[in-house]
């Protein structure tokens, strides 16, 4: 089975939400207290996905708000240089700063992220700064959950979803749950459910779906039974090393195996998975093949130091799939 997209659109995908700075520990197997050097990259789930899809050859755009400082300019220059359209990246004029994420690489299994997310520019994207004309030029609007955590970014995303629905743009919801941004699990559940029910495709880990449903240990069958009463036609639930499952509204189930690799760090896997999975769908590939692309891309990125810069090419993904099949 394939997902159908409008063929007459200028953009393949426009992402909305956070673009920030990742400062990844250069010293491995060491606690952050003892880490002295970090390397700077562009970060933030939707920004990473826009970068990842651009590197795969798709026409990608981005809607977001950047700080009026050196970090904001770095993000815009880097994304533009990769090929992401930055015409709808707004510069904040009220003194809000760029979000920072310091990463610790204790071991391949133990990685932590220390986030600075108070009063950050991306959460001040205003609904008035979201352009319907821009969104309707795309096949896909990619929404990431973190942008729903605070107003006015929350309303900006909801407005973008309305524009997408009105103009036959597929809404892809990447759950991207980051607990420290939210006031409570109940609040998260309300807004995640609101957007998930309006989306065409929902992608997340089993843990993220549990947060959305506000349950301790949910199951895939209950999740899809609920979502398929609404707009979604495809739900992808990831189970880490056990692989991922894709469920269609028409009743089909596909399983994607995880590709084992030499893991350096655990972060970045979800964004690289989403980039390659969406690339495959937009390229007209079967859902089962798209799951392989997602898994292969994730395996490549967790073996490398960065998230955004490590996003693979189509050739690298296809080579890994060929070697493992």
Q: Is 96 exposed, middle or buried (0-12, 13-18, 19+ CB in 10 A)?
A: buried
For residue 144, what are the CA distances in angstroms to 36, 39, 153, 282?
32, 25, 11, 19
Sign of CA dihedral 84, 87, 89, 92: positive
Q: What is the pLDDT of residue 305?
A: 79
Q: Is residue 236 part of a domain?
A: yes
Q: What is the pLDDT of residue 266?
A: 77
Domain count, the chain: 1
Asked if 82 contacts 52 with a C-beta cutoff of 8 angstroms, the reply is no
Q: What is the pLDDT of residue 211?
A: 98
Q: Is residue 17 part of a domain?
A: yes
This prediction has a pTM of 0.97
Q: What is the pLDDT of residue 304?
A: 87
Asked if 311 contacts 51 with a C-beta cutoff of 8 angstroms, the reply is yes
* DSSP at 75: H
Nearest to 25 by CA among 115, 109, 101: 101
Q: Is residue 1 part of a domain?
A: no
Going residue by residue through the chain, which has 325 residues, state the pLDDT in tens, using 9 for 90 and above. Answer: 899 999 999 999 999 999 999 999 998 889 999 999 999 999 999 999 999 999 999 999 999 999 999 999 999 999 999 999 999 999 999 999 999 999 988 887 788 899 999 999 999 999 999 999 999 999 999 999 999 999 999 999 999 999 999 999 999 999 999 998 999 999 999 999 999 999 999 999 999 999 999 999 999 999 999 999 999 999 999 998 899 999 999 999 999 999 988 888 878 889 999 999 999 999 999 999 999 999 999 999 988 877 888 899 999 999 999 998 8
C-alpha 102/C-alpha 307 separation (Å) is 13
- Strands 60-66 and 201-205, bridge-based pairing: unpaired
Q: Is residue 77 part of a domain?
A: yes
How far is Cα of residue 211 from the mean position of the Cα atoms in its chain? 17
Q: Is residue 2 part of a domain?
A: no
For residue 83, what are the CA distances in angstroms to 11, 60, 118, 301, 310?
12, 7, 29, 20, 15
Q: Which two tokens stand for residue 84?
A: 């992401």
What are the backbone dihedrals phi and psi of residue 260, each rounded to the nearest 5 degrees, phi first? Answer: -70, 145
Nearest to 309 by CA among 42, 37, 39: 42
Whole domain around residue 96: which residue ranges? 11-324
- Strands 100-105 and 20-25, bridge-based pairing: parallel
Q: Is residue 138 part of a domain?
A: yes
Q: Is residue 67 part of a domain?
A: yes
CATH number for the domain that contains residue 211: 3.40.1190.20
Q: Is residue 3 part of a domain?
A: no
- Strands 244-248 and 253-256, bridge-based pairing: antiparallel
* DSSP at 120: B
């Amino acid at each position: 089975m394939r997902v159908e997209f409008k063929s007459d659109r200028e953009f393949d995908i426009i992402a909305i939400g956070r673009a920030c700075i990742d400062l990844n520990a250069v010293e491995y197997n060491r606690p952050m207290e003892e880490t002295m050097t970090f390397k700077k990259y562009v970060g933030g789930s939707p920004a990473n996905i826009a970068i990842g899809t651009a590197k795969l050859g798709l026409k990608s755009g981005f809607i977001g708000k950047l700080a009026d400082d050196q970090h904001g300019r770095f993000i815009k220059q880097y994304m533009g240089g990769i090929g992401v359209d930055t015409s709808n990246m707004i510069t904040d004029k009220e003194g809000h700063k760029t979000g920072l994420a310091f990463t610790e690489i204790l071991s391949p299994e133990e990685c932590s992220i220390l986030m600075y997310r108070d009063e950050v520019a991306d959460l001040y994207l205003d609904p008035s700064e979201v352009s319907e004309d821009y969104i309707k030029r795309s096949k896909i609007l990619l929404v990431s959950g973190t942008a729903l955590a605070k107003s006015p970014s929350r309303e900006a995303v909801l407005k973008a979803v309305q524009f997408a629905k009105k103009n036959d743009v597929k809404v892809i919801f990447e759950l991207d749950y980051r607990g420290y941004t939210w006031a409570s699990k109940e609040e998260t559940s309300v807004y995640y459910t609101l957007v998930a029910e309006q989306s065409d495709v929902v992608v997340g880990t089993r843990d993220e779906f549990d947060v959305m449903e506000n349950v301790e240990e949910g199951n895939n069958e209950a999740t899809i039974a609920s979502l398929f009463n609404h707009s979604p036609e495809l739900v992808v639930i990831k189970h880490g090393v056990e692989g991922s499952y894709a469920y269609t509204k028409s009743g089909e189930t596909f399983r994607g195996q995880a590709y084992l690799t030499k893991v350096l760090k655990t972060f970045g896997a979800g964004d690289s998975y989403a980039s390659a999975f969406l690339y495959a769908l937009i390229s007209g590939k079967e859902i089962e093949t798209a799951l392989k692309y997602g898994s292969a891309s994730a395996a490549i990125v967790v073996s490398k130091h960065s998230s955004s810069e490590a996003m693979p090419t189509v050739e690298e993904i296809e080579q890994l799939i060929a070697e493992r099949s």
